[in-house]
Amino acid sequence: MNKYLLYITVALLATAACKQTYNPPAIANPPNYLVVEGFIENNGTDSTIFTLSRTVKLDSNAYTPEQGASVTVEGTDNSIFRLNEGSNGTYGAPLPLLNNNVTYRLHIITSAGKQYASDYVPIVANPPIDSISWKRKDAAPNAGIQIYANTHDPTNNTHYYRWEYQETWEFHAAFFATIQYTPATGIVGYYPNTKYYCWHSDNSSSVIIASSAQLSQDVIHEAPVVLIPLNTQQLQIRYSILVKQYALTKDAFDWWQILQKNTEQIGSIFGVQPSANRGNIHCLTDTTEQVLGFVGGGNTRTQRIFITNAQALPWDYQTDCQDQKISPDPTAIEGQFNMGNLPWSQDVMPPLVHVAYKTCVDCTYGGTNIQPSFW
């Protein structure tokens, strides 16, 4: 037997013999670290936005925003730009074009009077995105549409890149309703149907980075951005992705790389083990206090593409929606409604009412029926 498996077996047997509740310090007494997320934006039009929050217990899904803080971007040329507080711990404002010969930092004063500041960071020039491309892959386990980012820096100065994205897709309800029901009105005609066409959006949640530092030219070719799994809802009708590209310093790239390993490559005893990832933000009031996050600066590049169902064929998207036929008796219809089923059609002869689960009839349970402005 493999020595690691033997060790695990012995440990499990020992645990089974004597069980005892143990709350590690991170759960019993969770730290209250400040978490800083954001980027000093130098586009001249887009806002610089930072989100401040606090760490919570490992077994908690709570979100604790840091509210009432004073947040500024400060330059070594004594320039100061105040970020306005929004909702849920966000602070932002459009900044003027920043001086590439000046370094900048983020400065935070909390409502409790604690001060935090990042290191001064340069404004990194970011080359344009060459293209966002895609390929169909039919081999498991990565069957689907793989989307890539492509870029290069002809001055050979960038080398370190990160991407985020927002994907949006159009989808339709499984059944087109011609009737609708409420307990107050009973069954009435439904026209126009405003809950058949919908759109859903998701933001990236993984760390997407690439480096050309080991290459002779500063070229990134087909950096994987996201995989659309085969036959999923994303390409039922039409799909769009907006990719944002950031240029990084070597320090910033190293920080994001550690974060990537800590969050995505852990899962076995042979996997990468968590490592410290303090970032470049510090508590000025208490130098022993840890702060989570990394502040960088530069100009963001974006590019959007669309992919239609026809371009991705064959694409066999199926739902588990089922149509049921019931009596038009009001009591039966109300009973189905209370179970989450909605009437969507009716037959005259014989008199029957078609019902299906609400998400199969009303697409707003899975998205919005307001068409995006870019669509």
| pLDDT digits 0-9 by tens, 259-317 | 999 887 655 444 555 556 779 999 999 999 999 999 999 999 999 999 999 999 999 99
CA distance 262 to 271: 10
- pLDDT beyond 50 at 16: no
With 90 as the cut, is the pLDDT of residue 11 above it? Answer: no
Residue 197 has pLDDT above 50, yes or no: yes
Instruction: Write down the pLDDT at residue 1.
Output: 39
Residue 220 has pLDDT above 90, yes or no: yes
Report the half-sphere exposure of 73 (CA within 13 A, side-chain side).
30
**Domains of the chain, earliest start first:** 33-120+250-291 (2.60.40), 129-242+311-365 (no CATH)
How far from chain centre, in Å, is Cα 306?
A: 19
Task: Read off the pLDDT of residues 96-108 as tens digits, 9 standing for 90 and up.
Answer: 999 999 999 999 9
**Nearest partner of 179 among 165, 189, 169, judged by Cα:** 189
Name the burial class of residue 352, with classes exposed (0-12), middle (13-18) and buried (19+) by CB atoms within 10 angstroms of its CB: middle
Q: What is the pTM of this model?
A: 0.86
Specify the pLDDT at position 20.
57
Exposure string over 206-226, b if 16+ CB within 10 A, otherwise e: ebbbbbbeeeeebebeebebb
pLDDT tens digits for 313-332?
A: 999 999 999 999 999 999 99
- What the block records as the tokens of 178 is 């011609």
**Tens-digit pLDDT profile for residues 232-241:** 999 999 999 9
Give the pLDDT score at 53: 96
CA separation for the pair 235, 171 (Å, rounded): 8
* Pairing verdict, β 129-137 and 144-152: antiparallel
Q: In Å, what is the CA distance from 14 to each residue of 11, 21, 254, 309?
A: 5, 14, 40, 55
10 Å CB burial of residue 87 (0-12, 13-18, 19+) is exposed
Best CA proximity match to 365, nearest among 236, 161, 175, 220: 175
In 129-280 the beta strands, taken as DSSP E runs, fall at 129-137, 144-152, 160-172, 179-182, 186-189, 197-203, 208-211, 219-229, 238-247
pLDDT tens digits, one per residue of 32-80: 899 999 999 998 778 999 999 998 776 667 789 999 999 999 999 999 9
pLDDT of amino acid 101:
95
Q: What is the pLDDT of residue 55?
A: 87
Per-residue pLDDT, 6: 34
User: Tokens in use for 134?
Assistant: 């895609």
Angle at 60 between CA 87 and CA 274, to 5 degrees: 100
Q: What is the dihedral of CA 94, 152, 262, 34, to 10 degrees?
A: -20
Tell me the average pLDDT of the chain.
90
**Do the Cβ atoms of 46 and 300 come closer than 8 Å?**
yes
**141 close to 327: Cβ distance less than 8 angstroms:** no
Residue 8 is predicted with a pLDDT of 30
Residue 71 is predicted with a pLDDT of 98
Q: What tokens appear for 181 in the block?
A: 């029901």
**Amino acid 21: pLDDT:** 54
